[in-house]
Amino acid sequence: MPLLELLAPEFALIALGVALRRVMSASEEGWVFLEKLGYYLLFPCLLFVSILRAPGSVGAVLPMTLAAGSAAALGVAAAYACRWLPETDVRRRTSGAQTAFRFNSYLGMAIAERTGSAEGLALFSIMIAVLIPILNVAAVWPMAGLAQRGLVRELLRNPLIIATLGGLAWRAVQLPMPDLVLAVAGRMGIAALPLGLLCIGAALRWPRGDHRLAGSDRLLATSFTGIKLLLMPLAGLGACLLLGLDGLPALLVVMYTALPTSPASYVLASRMGGDGAFVAQLITISLLGALVSLPLWTGIGAFLWSS
């Protein structure tokens, strides 16, 4: 399948979200409710069910997880190193750092399913099930001081961590899941991806007026976005080559590292006392940049590992 045809439906849903926000009379609170519905309920259901239904084991995707985790670790280290950039606002730096290494799970799972069908979704689901708790720790850590809340308390309340660890634990004990629970959670999970992509489009904001990025803010935004869309994909590509990964697993790793940042970063920053408006702008910049960088890196991966 041609690359643009592969990515077009996901970007079309995002564009539809932009259009719906402009033409519909729904209030800001309505879109916020939909975002929270996806973040706290629908997407955790999708993660949980995908992990339970995924064939194979966590060990089977260990090379993928190692390659993706190495790239993510470099992204975390680079984001934390931005504390030494001159004249940066502490609140914006600590709340925005997460955008340099967190990833858009909605878009990633949608592309993984279109790239490798059920196998692609299964591999990607298990891989991110290992990475999500780790990256959420890295995201919460800098902001814990701002919110004056305990790190452990914040992590225990994170719905994505609860869903991924719950899914992995249920697989480990191999207990049967009641059909009714699985069916209800599965149907809610089906709604997560299209609704999430629509909300991504509706949430896009370009900095204007009083929210226009100043010099130090532009430096932060450029640094965080460059880490996410350039440094991490390059590291992921190199990790796959070093580990000898090829085929669909390698392509999924490169796609993962090239994803724009997570829209949930805004929810986390706002809830923990960070600069939500600045993070929303970073999300917009990251997604717009990914319109070019994601097809580029995915195309390089497809060229190297097409079967």
CB atoms under 10 Å from CB of 32, counted, come to 16
- For 86, counting Cβ atoms within 10 Å of its Cβ (0-12 exposed, 13-18 middle, 19+ buried), the class is exposed
305 domain-assigned: no
Hey, is 206 helix, strand or coil? coil
**CATH classification of the domain holding 282:** 1.20.1530.20
303 domain-assigned: no
238 domain-assigned: yes
Cα angle 151-172-168, degrees, rounded to a multiple of 5: 40
What mean pLDDT, rounded, does the chain reach? 82
302 domain-assigned: no
pLDDT at 31 over 90: no
Range of the domain at 175: 3-297
Contact 293, 231 (CB under 8 A): no
If one counts the domains in the chain, the total is: 1
pLDDT at 137 over 90: no
Between 1-15, 58-72, 110-124, the lowest mean confidence (pLDDT) is in: 1-15
Task: Fill in the amino acid letter for 176.
Answer: P
Q: Please tell me the pTM assigned to this model.
A: 0.81
**Residue 112 confidence (pLDDT):** 86
**How far, CA to CA in Å, does 93 sit from each of 53, 108, 150, 244?**
39, 26, 19, 36
71 domain-assigned: yes
Between 27-31, 203-207, 210-214, the lowest mean confidence (pLDDT) is in: 210-214
Contact 6, 111 (CB under 8 A): yes
304 domain-assigned: no
306 domain-assigned: no
pLDDT at 241 over 90: yes
**How far, CA to CA in Å, does 268 sit from each of 31, 99, 192, 234, 271?**
16, 11, 18, 27, 5
- Average pLDDT (157-165) is 81
88 domain-assigned: yes
Contact 250, 233 (CB under 8 A): no
**How far, CA to CA in Å, does 74 sit from each of 65, 84, 251?**
14, 16, 19
**How far, CA to CA in Å, does 286 sit from each of 109, 227, 230, 266?**
18, 10, 11, 13
Between 135-144, 161-170, 191-200, 203-212, the lowest mean confidence (pLDDT) is in: 203-212
